[in-house]
Amino acid sequence: MNKGYVERFACAVRNWRARQLFKALRIYCRGAILDVGGWDFYLKVRNDPKIKFETWTNLESTENQLAKIENDPRYKTILGDGCKMALRDSSFDTVINIQVLEHVFEPIQMVKEIGRVLRPNGYAIFLIPGTSVLHMAPEHYYNFTRFWIKQAVKKANLSIVEFKPIGGLWNTTATHLFRFFFQSLRLEGYSTPDVKRNLFFYLFYPLMVIYAIVNIPINLFLGWGDLTEDANNFLVVAKKSTLD
C-alpha cells in the first residue's frame, strides 16, 4: 500500500480526533503564518472562513513533503531545516507545529527556533504526541510528557496560554490496536526489516485480529471518560511576550 495514502488516512483520523486543534486555530491564527513540517495541512484549513491569516508559509526539510498548491497567492513554501531556520527573528505572527517534534532528533532546538521567529504577542500552536505508536519509521524518535513540553516552551521564552490533553489511556489503547493492523502487515513507515516475528505471532495472529476488532470500539467508548495522565496528544498554545 502506498505510504502517502496511509499517512493521509492516519492524518485524517488525527484531525477528526483533535478537533480542539481547529478550534485553537480559529481563535489564535492571524497575519503571517509559518507551518513547520505541516506537509499538506494547509489544504485542510485554507477554505475555513473562521481561520484568519494573510499568508501561509510551509517549511519542510525535503522537497517531496511540500504540498503542490497552485493559484493561491497566500501560500508559500520554504525548503529548510526547522531546527535551524534561515529566517529573520520575529518574522511571523503565528507558528504552527503539528505532530512534528517526534520526528526531529533535537526537538528542543525546533521549539527554540519557533520562539525565535515568532513576533512579540504572536502565538505558537503545537500538537505534540504523548503516546504515539511507531509511524514514519525510521524517522520517529520520541513521545513527550507534559513535563518535557512545559520545560521546552519555557526555554523558548514562550508562555503557555492553553494546555489541553487530548485522549488518554483508552484512546491510546484504541489507537494502538488500530495501528496493529498497519504494523502486522508491515506497511511502510510502521515497521522496519530488522523487526522479527516469532512462531507464536503467526499462531496467535487470528486471535489478535479478533481481539483488536472487538476492543477498538470498546476502548473508544471508554475514552469518553478517559484518563489523561498519559495523554494521546497535547494541544499547546504559547505566546511570545513583548519583552524578549
Dump pLDDT digits (tens) for 4-47: 566 666 666 656 666 889 999 999 999 999 999 988 889 888 88
Dump pLDDT digits (tens) for 188-233: 999 999 999 999 999 999 999 999 999 999 999 999 999 999 899 9
Q: How many CB atoms are closer than 10 A to CB 30?
A: 15
Question: Could you tell me which residues come within 8 angstroms of residue 30 by beta carbon, excluding any fewer than 6 positions away?
Answer: 52, 53, 93, 94, 123
Which residues is 77 bridged to in the sheet? 58
Nearest to 32 by CA among 70, 102, 88: 88
Q: Are residues 41 and 114 in the same domain?
A: yes
Q: Are residues 75 and 188 in the same domain?
A: no
β-pair type (32-36, 55-60) = parallel
Per the rule left: phi > 0, alpha: psi between -120 and 50, beta: everything else, 90 is left
Q: Are residues 150 and 193 in the same domain?
A: no
In Å, how far from its chain's centre is CA 24?
14
CATH code of the domain containing 80? 3.40.50.150
CA separation for the pair 194, 85 (Å, rounded) = 34
Residue 188: domain span: 171-224
Q: Are residues 75 and 123 in the same domain?
A: yes
Whether the link from the prior residue into 138 is cis, omega within 30° of 0, is yes
pTM: 0.89
Number of independent structural domains in the chain: 2
Q: Are residues 117 and 208 in the same domain?
A: no
